[in-house]
Every structure is written in structure tokens, then in C-alpha cells.
Structure 1
Amino acid sequence: MEDENESPSHSSDSIESEPDYEMSPESVSESNGSNCDDDDDDEEQKPAARSAPPPSHQRKSQNVDALLRGNLEVRRQSLFPRVYPVTDAETTLRQPFKPPSCSGYSENKEQLARRLCARKRFVPWGSTRPVLLNITNRFNTPNTEKEDSEESVALPPGIEPLVLWKPEESKERDGEFMSVVVDPLLVKFLRPHQREGVQFMFDCVSGNMSATNINGCILADDMGLGKTLQSITLLYTLLRQGFDGKPMVKKAIIVTPTSLVSNWEDEIKKWVGERVKLVALCESTREDVISSINSFTRPCSPLQVLIVSYETFRMHSSKFNQSGSCDLLICDEAHRLKNDQTLTNRALASLSCKRRILLSGTPMQNDLEEFYAMVNFTNPGVLGDATFFRRYYEMPIICGREPTATEEEKRLGSERSAELSGKVNQFILRRTNALLSNHLPPKIIEVVCCKLTPLQSELYNHFIHSKNVKRAISEEAKQSKILAYITALKKLCNHPKLIYDTIKSGSPGTSGLEDCLRFFPQELFSGRSGSWTGGDGIWVELSGKMHVLARLLAQLRQKTDDRIVLVSNYTQVLLL
């Protein structure tokens, strides 16, 4: 600042912003407040004249004095560079661009990608030099996902790598063969019995078994042992590795019941993410199914896995006749293939794929013909044709089990049974839930009896004393009517809303409950239609089971971090 007496060449005082001087927020506010009252200005002048303030305070007081005289020229300085100073050496960049999730964005994403690619030189606020930004354009760099998917994952301490096959040292040095090792991404989640299962399936489908004509297997583990995870582990390994360094499997088909198609898709994405290119045909139109199958079977298609239902595969099996359309076939719930005369079995058997994996919790039945159908589908010809199997194995085994069988027949039946077991046990693996005893706490079952609520008691008494129920008890009634009454009582004990829905819909089983609507509290319903509105916690109080369950869940949530599974005979109860 220059005073009027020191610079006579200027007709007014001025404030010049010097490079090493930053105005404080107080001086800025005072400079902007030129219309303040005289009383306020006097109060501001008095503290400045009492003591000798530092130079910055002196400038402040000089600014105030010049402002009071009314001949002050103010040159405004930008406030943001002082609040957020940025130097050339320390530049704070904005966060990477995130595309908006709105409709219409996909239509302009290519144009947006070009704009982002061109906007690589960005001048931050307060800086005079541009900074080269490393903008990642996922639309113009298709290898980005591949690089992300191939990031290395280290095994936790104490977990050994899972080597499925290792060549001889001489061949390994020559580079003739390469080891097949399961990715640590999956190894760290495998339990001991699952590691054995993956090794077993690999030995079967890769042809490493001592016996010939074995290229498939049956994994017959009990439910809960992780058949899906073992299959995904093998599938992911074969899609990436092989004996000669090339993938052993290029295309795989997973055939499953319709209700499990989406489950398989979710499981694959859960364990391996986007590392596997797949297509799942679930609730798709005919046009979408045909288009997806054509895209999968195309020779240069990037799709690696097709998840399809048994019915969809049967209807479009002719599209898989070309060679190379499938290198690995996985059949879930494979007990559906126990009849080799069905169209589904024939369609899958005609698939030109030797590597076949069957998953089923109950593959072995007392019917030897059904057992033969599954075994022959897995490894065709390993037990001969149907006529030979029936004459050589089935008839002697069945005759040896008859009560009237002679000692010779029993001996022959035992020999053929042992011979059959020795052959099929090479490619059938069966484990029970006893393996989980080392990993799970002991199972405790507690039966809790819950009292009925007053509403349930009224409905119950009204129902059992109705004329229809008394007539059904005293007289000989049809079995279907008795079962309908039992079902009504089951619904009543679960939740009264099930009874209300039954009455409103007029479905069978409402006899004896015709005039029960008067027992329900009217405040729970709204509108002319009488729709159930429930309320905050009101519906819980109407059922004894629900009341106990709500209190139990509240305690478990406060005191534990346990996961809870609720099972009900009626899905309507779970939706309440």
C-alpha cells in the first residue's frame, strides 16, 4: 500500500497485490465492506492505535484508514487460489472420470471415449503448466480387462499349491511339456477333499488313468461338499492350461436343470469374476437362444462357456454337431440321464465330446440298467454294449441276490459285482457329509413349541367346531377333504394371513372358514378390496411363531454375527 503523502503522483490510494503477499480473509472482508457505518469504523480504528502491531497488521490498519477517507482504489484478488494454493511441483489432480449410469450413455460412449482420449493435457487450478493425465479409456483399450484378470494372487501361509500334473524333468527342461497348476485364486478356498476331487476329475478327463477308454467321470458327492466349486476349479484350469502350454479346453458346455442356470452363472462369476467369457440361456426367447448358440459355436467366438438347460439343449442339439463346438461337457443333476432312451440323453450322447463330467448326489440306484445308462454315457463302451452288460453283469448279480440262489449263483454274483465295482470305481467318486465333521460344529436340533395368539386361537376353535369338520370326523369322508382340513390347520399355525388369502381367493380348503373374516382386526386392511396392509411389526404379533422368531433374530443380531437361514413350507410367510 502507498499512502497519499508518500506518493503525490497518485490521486488516490491503491492496494497492489505483491507476489509474496496474500491478503487475509479479514482484510478481504474489510475491503469489500466500504458501506459500513461510522460507528463500526471507529471501533475498528481504536485497537490499531493502541499498540505497535506487526507489519501485516500495520498494512491492515493503513488499509482501513485509506478506506475511511473514501479515496481508496481496490484491486480485487481471486479468492480461490489463496484458499486452495497449487504449485507446479505439487499438483493435485481430479479423480478419474466415472461414466454416468443413465439411459442414453451407451449410445454416446464411443464419442465420449474419443473426447476423454483427447483431453489428456489438463491444467490444474492455480498452476501455469499443463499436466499429462494418464486417463484410462476402457473402450479403446480392450486388453485392460485381461490385464486386470491376470493379476497374480499369492497363496496364504500354510496352503500348498495344487499341481495336477507335472512332466518328467528331462521333458520339462526341453520345454516339451508344462506343468498344470491350479490358479491360487481358487486354491486358497479349496478344502482337502475338494483338492482330491479336482485331482480325480483332472486325471479322468485328461486321460491319465491306467485304463483305456476313460475320458469322463462321475462326481457323486453328497450335497454340501462343493461339487460346483470343484467343477469350476477344473473348468477354469483347463480353459487356461494344458500339457503343451495351450488350453486343454477351448469351449465348455454346462447342462443343468432350468432352475439352476442362473445359479451356475452366479457361481462362476463369484469365483473367477470376468476371467471366463460365458453366456447363460435363462428365461430367453427363442431368437435370443438361437443367436447365443450361434455366437458360441462360431469358430472365432470369444465365448468359452455355455450354460444351458436340458430342455433347451435337446431342442437345439443339431447346432452342436460341428466339430470343435464342445471340448468339455458338465451335466449337473445327472441322475436325469439314467434312462438312455430319452430324447435328452440321446441328444447329449450324440455330442462329439469325449470329456464328460456328471454331477449327482444320488447316482447309484438299485436298478442296474439305470446305473449302466449313466456309466455308458460318461465313458461309452467301457462296460460293453447293453446286451453284454445284461448277460455278463446284471443277470448273475440279480440271481445271486435271490433268496433261493444256490451257492454257485451267489459266488458268481459276488465275483461279477466285485469286477463291476473295480471297473467303475476308477471314474466314480463318492463322498458323504461325514467329511464336513472336521470343519463344522456339532449339529444341535431344538424343537420350540410356540403358543397360538388370540387371533389364531379364535380361528382354530371356530374351524374345529364347524359343521364341515365335525361331519368329516364323524363320517367317512374322502381322503382329499381330510388332507385339505389338515393343510388349513398348518396354514393357520404358520400365520393367519395364509388363511385370509385362502378365503379371499376362494381356493379349495376354505370349508369351515367361510365366515372367519370377522375375527381379523379391521385396521390391518385398507381399501375396498380389503388388501392386507399389515403395519410396522403388527403382523408379527398375530402369529406365535413369528413373534418368537422376531425376538430370536433381534437377540442374535445384537450379540452374534451368525448367518441365519429361514426355511418355511410357504413362501408367503417369507414375504411378510
Structure 2
Amino acid sequence: MEEEEDEGVWCSSDSGDDDVEERKSQNVDALIRGNLIVKRQSLLPRVLSVSQGAAVCRKPFKPPCSKSDASGYNQDLTRRLSARKRFVPWGSSSALPRPALEELKLNVPVSVTESHVEEVKLSLPPGIDPLVLWQWHPQDSDNGPPEANFTTITVDPFLVRFLRPHQREGVQFMFDCVSGLCTSPNIHGCILADDMGLGKTLQSITLLYTLICQGFDGKPMVRKAIIVTPTSLVSNWEAEINKWVGERVRLVALCESTREDVISGIDNFISPQSNLQVLIVSYETFRMHSSKFSSSGSCDLLICDEAHRLKNDQTITNRALAALPCKRRILLSGTPLQNDLEEFFAMVNFTNPGILGDIAHFRRYYEAPIICGREPAAPPEEKKLGAERSAELSVNVNRFILRRTNALLSNHLPPKIVEVVCCKLTPLQSDLYKHFIQSKNVKRAISEERKQSKILAYITALKKLCNHPKLIYDTIRNGSPGTSGFEDCIRFFPPEMLSGRSGSWTGGHGAWVELSGKMHVLARLLAHLRQRTNDRIVLVSNYTQVYGNK
């Protein structure tokens, strides 16, 4: 081993202070003149002071203990280290020792044992039971041998304590589907169609972490998982996983990355030697690099967020995801499935391919009778057949589709209070409004019947004016449709608005807010809430321009 160093920089520790100072001054002079001499010197004599050092370094490493007693040494060390571990149960002020290693069978750390279940009970708050997704029973001889060491699959307590009753039910439902415990052997996927706000993300992360850590045979059921989501939600999924499970899961999120970073991240994830467990990727990125996931071991669990994007099975993205060699598929969608039966079939067939037959059989057996039976003039026999096929279809798909509404949250949320606040117009808004209603075009549209078609456009213009006069200013400056009624209105706007580049406002944020009565009230309300609470605020507007110009 050699290193490159300056001939004059390094000196022996035995040198005197005068020698050191003289050597430093020589180095400075040499550096200024450009005559600094660099040579390669062996590093070995400086770090190895034994005789025949080079020969010693070439010898193979010898462990401190012999192979014969290594096993006993490791077991003894593990037992002594475990004895030092303590934990404090929920609601207790004293620490309790953890169960012995022999009882926990820690030689396979990803598994859950009966003694682990007892630990789960101790670490959960009062009134919250462990969430046991599967437990072997003697009568279930087909699901595992009686002598199996691991007889339960249990959700970790640090996640269970945050799950509400409907979320526990959702985790159990998804587990039964993806693990093949449903009555039908062809079901390996599911659709979780809960309303927004019911915690689909937390339920999915809970199942994902459980399957990564546990399985029927004591080995993880999932080694590699892919989460496909819209581009805007990639970073949100990464943040949620880090929030709930921290560094317990090794993941890579491809968000706003260069092409080189995307390719490198995917290659690292699918590599057999990689320790990455979760890949978070957008639909577009997956579509462009879908060929990299063609191997059978590239994915064991697929989670598709905003899965209503897969309602058209003819899109390239849908086909790329359908070709992924992964049976365990979970679709998340807060958008209720509509009455288009072919879109419904596309999502169901993506989740569990062939569960309803091919598209021709579905159209002939389900779609045609159901549509004919819905016609008002349909004969009784067609209505009866349509109702029977609709009921049969519901029974078949309800085994792997779970839909809950926000009514479940009524017991967990305070009563809803709606406050209507009327905001006074600012002087600018008032001047624009008076000019608008007194304009010739508006008066003519109101008085003449043939101009009634423009009334809706005028109402829309007034709604924009109520939000912020900048929306009217942009319409006038760009000459867009809808300027009728606001002719010669530029004179009402403050000079600062005209001085900015491309009409941009240069008066500062405070002055910008003061131009709109709504914005003025909203700004004061947000400032008050920020000082008094930690609540999260959702602003809803009919016009995206309101946000773009804020």
C-alpha cells in the first residue's frame, strides 16, 4: 500500500521544534516557487512496526476464536447482550426484561412467535388488542405443519396503536387477498376504494411493512415492492413511509430525478445483490422503463395509488403494469367506480387477471344483460336476468373490493360547522364593479332577450372580480374573451401593477393582499390560526389562477 505525499510536509515525531519550523518554511518557499517535489512513499512502515510487516499483511485473516468454539461464543455473547435490553410497557413506570432469546427464537429475526405476541400485548395501550393477521391452528394442517416454529403473522405494535377499527379491518382484508387466503384460489390482489381521509396510505404501509418482515414459513412474504403513483405524490409516499416506519424499510424514491439517476436507481433496486426493498416511482417513469422489470424476481408486491387511471386497459401505462410478473397487486382509489362496466372490468381484470373471464365473455354474460335490464321499456324477464347478473357480479367482486365512506369518521371528528363570511369589496373592486354594471354591453345583455346567452359569462367575470381583481387585469391585458364590460378599466388599477415586467405586481405581498377583500380576510385568518394552532388548512377555489397569482 502506497500513498502520494509531499516530500517535505511529513516529518518524524522525534524531530525537534526547530526542525519542524525549518521544514515548514522550506515547504512554503518551495510551494511559492513551484518547485514542490512529490514522490511516492510506502505507507506500510509507518503503520506496521512488526518484523516482516509485508509478509504479515499478506497472510489470511485469523479470527480471535477458533471455529470449534465460535458457535458457543456467539450464543453466549448474544445471550449476555439481550439480558441488558429492557423496555417500559405503555402506562408503566418501571422497566421489564424482554423474553429470553431462546423463547423469541431470534435466530430468524423477521418472524413472530407466541412469546412475541405477549410482548405486543404488553407494549400496546390499554384497550387496544394486537392485530394478528394469521395464526396457525391444528385443524389447519394444509396451511402449515404442526411443528412449525412460527405460527402467527402479527402487525408490529408501533403501527397497531395508530390504527382505527376500520383501518384494522382494511389491513386484514388486504392481507387475506394478497396472501391467497380468500375462498377463491384465483384471488391474489384487491382494490381498496375508501373515500379520501380514511387512511388508505397508512393501511397500505402497515401491510407492506408486515409482509416485508413476516411470512407463513418464517421468511418474508415480500422481498421487493413497487409503489406506482402520480408524479406529484412520489415524495408524499416517501415522507409517509419515513413517518410511520422510519429506517426500518430501505427504499428509493424517483422524484424529479435526471434520467441517469432514474436508470441508476432502478438498476440498483432490481439487482439481486441490492438490499433495497421498496421502489416509489411515477406512472410515467415506470412506463418508460417497464422493460427493466421483466424478470420474475423484480417485484413481489405492486401498489398502485390513484388507480382509477387504470380504467382503460388499452393505454401503454396499463399494459406495462399488467405485464409486470407480480401476482400480488393492490389498487388504491378514492374515486368511486362509475357505471361504465368496461372500465370496471379493466380495473378488476388488472387486479386479478381472468377472474371474470376475458372481455368477450364479460360483455356477453354480464354487460349486455345488465344494460338491457336497466332500460325502462325492458320486458320483465330481461329486468330479472339483468338483476341476477348484477347480483352475481357483485358477489364475485366483493371478495376483493372494499369500499367505505367518510361516514366511518363521524365518531372520530367534531361536528361540522359551516360559517359563511361576507367580505367587503376593496375600493378597486368596487370601482371595477360599478364600471361593469353600468357598461353598455352589460345593460344591453340584460335588456335584450337575444343576449341572454352572455349572462353566464358576465356572472363568471364577476366571480373572478370577487376573488381578486388581478384576474380581471390579466384578462384585459391579454385581450382574452370575457373583457366585455371591462373596457377602459386599466385606469382603475394602481400604477405599481403596470410597472412590473409583463404586468407582474411589484408592490409587495402585503399590498397584493390588500387589493382583494377575500384575500385580506383570508390572510388575517391564516395569520391568526398559525399563531394559535397547529392545524392544517385546505384552501379550495374554483380557479387555479387564484393560487398561481398569489
TM-score w.r.t. structure 2 length?
0.70
Report the residue type matching 2:355 in the other structure: V
Displacement after TM superposition at 1:543 (Å):
2.2
Instruction: Tell me which moved more, 504-513 or 214-223.
Output: 504-513
Say yes or no: does 1:198 pair with 2:171. yes
Q: Closer, same or farther in 2 for the Cα pair 1:497/1:388, shift >3 Å?
A: closer
Identity %: 81
Alignment map for 1:169-568 (pairs within 5 Å): 174-470=147-443, 473=446, 476=450, 485-505=458-478, 507-522=480-495, 531-535=504-508, 537-553=510-526, 556=529, 562-568=535-541
Displacement after TM superposition at 1:513 (Å):
3.6
Structure label with greater radius of gyration: 1
Displacement after TM superposition at 1:235 (Å):
0.9
- Does the CA-based 8 Å contact 1:323-1:352 persist in structure 2? yes
SS of structure 1 residue aligned to 2:280 = strand
Q: Closer, same or farther in 2 for the Cα pair 1:271/1:298, shift >3 Å?
A: same
- Does the CA-based 8 Å contact 2:505-2:512 persist in structure 1? no
Q: Using the alignment, how far apart are the partners of 1:551 and 1:385 within structure 2?
A: 59
SS of structure 1 residue aligned to 2:314 = coil
Q: Deviations over 1:262-317 (max 9, x none)?
A: 22222222222232222222233333322222222111122211222222222222
Q: Using the alignment, how far apart are the partners of 2:509 and 2:313 within structure 1?
A: 56
Q: Deviations over 1:346-396 (max 9, x none)?
A: 221111110011111235322222222211111112122222222222223
Displacement after TM superposition at 1:234 (Å):
0.7
Say yes or no: does 1:167 pair with 2:139. no
SS of structure 1 residue aligned to 2:389 = helix
Q: Using the alignment, how far apart are the partners of 1:366 and 1:529 within structure 2?
A: 47
Displacement after TM superposition at 1:197 (Å):
0.1
Q: Using the alignment, how far apart are the partners of 1:292 and 1:467 within structure 2?
A: 63
Q: Closer, same or farther in 2 for the Cα pair 1:552/1:515, shift >3 Å?
A: same
What is the alpha-carbon root mean square deviation over aligned residues?
Answer: 3.1
Q: Deviations over 1:530-549 (max 9, x none)?
A: 75233574444432223333
TM-score w.r.t. structure 1 length?
0.67
* 1:120 paired residue number: none
Q: Using the alignment, how far apart are the partners of 1:431 and 1:192 within structure 2?
A: 12
Report the residue type matching 1:158 in the other structure: G
- Does the CA-based 8 Å contact 2:446-2:452 persist in structure 1? no
Q: Using the alignment, how far apart are the partners of 1:201 and 1:392 within structure 2?
A: 28
Q: How many residues in Structure 1 have an aligned counterpart in Structure 2?
A: 426
SS of structure 2 residue aligned to 1:174 = coil
Q: Using the alignment, how far apart are the partners of 1:388 and 1:530 within structure 2?
A: 60
SS of structure 2 residue aligned to 1:253 = strand
SS of structure 1 residue aligned to 2:227 = strand
SS of structure 1 residue aligned to 2:169 = helix
Q: Deviations over 1:111-146 (max 9, x none)?
A: xxxxxxxxxxxxxxxxxxxxxxxxxxxxxxxxxxxx
Say yes or no: does 1:157 pair with 2:130. no
Q: Using the alignment, how far apart are the partners of 2:518 and 2:346 within structure 1?
A: 47
* 1:57 paired residue number: none
* 2:81 paired residue number: none
- Does the CA-based 8 Å contact 1:334-1:363 persist in structure 2? no
Q: Deviations over 1:148-206 (max 9, x none)?
A: xx9x9943333222111112269687334442111222211111100100000000000
Q: Using the alignment, how far apart are the partners of 2:545 and 2:343 within structure 1?
A: 38
Report the residue type matching 1:534 in the other structure: G
Alignment map for 1:68-147 (pairs within 5 Å): none
- Does the CA-based 8 Å contact 1:282-1:308 persist in structure 2? yes
Q: Using the alignment, how far apart are the partners of 1:414 and 1:275 within structure 2?
A: 49
Unaligned regions of 5+ residues in structure 2, if any? 1-109, 111-118
Unaligned regions of 5+ residues in structure 1, if any? 1-149
- Does the CA-based 8 Å contact 2:178-2:187 persist in structure 1? yes
Q: Using the alignment, how far apart are the partners of 1:262 and 1:474 within structure 2?
A: 55
Q: Closer, same or farther in 2 for the Cα pair 1:570/1:216, shift >3 Å?
A: same
Displacement after TM superposition at 1:473 (Å):
4.8
SS of structure 2 residue aligned to 1:165 = strand
Q: Using the alignment, how far apart are the partners of 2:503 and 2:537 within structure 1?
A: 34
Q: Deviations over 1:69-127 (max 9, x none)?
A: xxxxxxxxxxxxxxxxxxxxxxxxxxxxxxxxxxxxxxxxxxxxxxxxxxxxxxxxxxx
- Does the CA-based 8 Å contact 1:484-1:508 persist in structure 2? no
Report the residue type matching 1:309 in the other structure: S
Q: Using the alignment, how far apart are the partners of 2:222 and 2:460 within structure 1?
A: 52
Displacement after TM superposition at 1:208 (Å):
0.8
